[in-house]
């Protein structure tokens, strides 16, 4: 952990169907519950929000104009707080079932980086970090779970060798 900094993360996915399609209805219906739980977790700092319309999460934030791309951009006090939310809550059940709702992307779709405490990254800033990770590999500028020696649960969840690494 960097003193005076928080951990930002961006996770991008492309839904297999539009947000109002029955094939992704279960995922869309769970967004408010999962996001609400995340906001109540110890160590949670901030989340990029959408319109606030129930059942939409922040799915209005389009990437490249594609309405099936959805993103999750959050800030946490430290890596352990994010790790606990991702792997030790009901979030993990949805992560494990992501193939039901999301296309398999052939490139990195998850990135983390340190931000000064109080900074709220924009989606453009986060996408630039993801591009940097894709182009240059992990560094202090943009990284995945493997870059954080204090986190281990991602290895136990069989993420090694996957884009979430």
CA angle 75, 100, 97 (to 5 degrees): 55
- In-domain check, residue 107: yes
For position 47, which CATH number holds?
A: 3.30.70.100
Q: What is the DSSP string of 55-80?
A: T-TTTTS-BTTBTTEEEEEEEESSHH
**In a domain? residue 50:** yes
- Predicted confidence at residue 1, as pLDDT, reads 62
Q: Is residue 28 a part of any domain in this protein?
A: yes
What residue numbers bound the domain in which 111 lies? 5-156
Q: In what order do the strands lie in the sheet with 110-116?
A: 44-47, 69-76, 5-14, 110-116
Sequence-ordered list of residues with C-beta below 8 angstroms from that of 87, at least 6 positions apart, any chain: 153, 154, 156, 157
In a domain? residue 164: no
**Total count of domains within the chain:** 1
Q: Are strands 69-76 and 44-47 parallel, antiparallel or unpaired?
A: antiparallel
Q: What is the pLDDT of residues 18-52, one digit of tens each?
A: 989 999 999 999 988 999 999 999 999 999 986 55
pTM value is 0.86
* Confidence band for 155, pLDDT divided at 50, 70 and 90: low
Convert the pLDDT of each residue in 102-111 to its tens digit. Answer: 998 888 899 9
pLDDT band at 150 (very low <50, low <70, confident <90, very high): low
């Amino acid at each position: 952990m960097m003193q005076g900094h928080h951990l930002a993360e961006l996770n991008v996915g492309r839904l297999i169907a539009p947000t109002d399609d029955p094939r992704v209805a279960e995922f869309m219906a769970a967004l408010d519950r999962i996001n609400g739980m995340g906001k109540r977790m110890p160590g949670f700092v901030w989340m990029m929000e959408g319109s606030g319309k129930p059942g939409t999460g922040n799915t209005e934030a389009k990437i490249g104009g594609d309405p099936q791309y959805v993103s999750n951009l959050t800030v946490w006090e430290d890596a352990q707080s994010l790790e606990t939310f991702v792997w030790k809550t009901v979030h993990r059940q949805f992560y494990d079932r992501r193939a039901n709702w999301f296309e398999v992307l052939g490139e990195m779709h998850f990135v983390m980086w340190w931000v000064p405490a109080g900074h709220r990254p924009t989606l453009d800033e986060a996408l630039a970090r993801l591009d940097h990770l894709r182009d240059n590999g992990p560094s202090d500028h943009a990284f995945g779970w493997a870059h954080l020696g204090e986190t281990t649960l991602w290895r136990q969840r069989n993420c090694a060798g996957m884009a979430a690494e």
